[in-house]
Chain A
Amino acid sequence: AQTVTQSQPEMSVQEAETVTLSCTYDTSESDYYLFWYKQPPSRQMILVIRQEAYKQQNATENRFSVNFQKAAKSFSLKISDSQLGDAAMYFCAYRSAVTGTASKLTFGTGTRLQVTL
């Protein structure tokens, strides 16, 4: 079974600065997807960014980018130019690409990000 580990329960960053959230995972599969979801106080789960394991190029979405290290099974999220609206819980998630698995997501326990002035 796959596991996802987020070792940072809480992180803090100053507005306009850069912060990196860590995520590691364990799997025996070679093809899979990785995601970062954001959960603000409203409790919605919002997709931030995703990465296909077969792609070597790191995904980027505006101020959000990932550092995907497949051999190390590491998938960190970098938030540049942090804004107050970035304050939220961030969840790393894994999904198998194997057909027939119904694309179940396995989530980490989350990192609470605080953004200070």
Chain B
Amino acid sequence: SQTIHQWPATLVQPVGSPLSLECTVEGTSNPNLYWYRQAAGRGLQLLFYSVGIGQISSEVPQNLSASRPQDRQFILSSKKLLLSDSGFYLCAWRRGLNQPQHFGDGTRLSIL
């Protein structure tokens, strides 16, 4: 069966510090991968998606970036965090044209 791992679960970072959130999927190959952000009390906003290694599409201009160095690894990064980057970050994967997205457990990011 397929599983998705996302870490860390919780992260507290100072403004201006770098960021690296990692997401890996097991049990499948060539999945579509997604990064979402959920601000407090709001819905999910798609940040990035990837259809293959090294292929990244950005949905929202921001100081975040994403990379996919391996087939089942998706990384969300920032060189300098802003207060507005606080939120709940969710990674998701999908395999198959008519399959739903499945989500990781998320990372709660707090910027101080």
Contacts and interface: CB of A to CB of B under 8 A. Distances in A.
B105 A103 contact: no
A43 B88 contact: yes
Interface string A37-68: 10000111111001010000000000000000
A103 B106 contact: no
A50 B100 contact: yes
B100 A35 contact: yes
Interface residues of B, number: 24
Given A91-B43, A104-B46, A43 B106 contact: yes
A102 B106 contact: no
Interface in B7-60: 32, 34, 42-46, 49, 51, 57, 59
Contact of A44 (B32, B34, B51, B106): B106
A1 to B, nearest CB: 11
A98 to B, nearest CB: 10
11 contacts: A33-B100, A35-B100, A44-B103, A44-B106, A45-B44, A45-B92, A102-B49, A103-B32, A103-B97, A109-B43, A110-B43
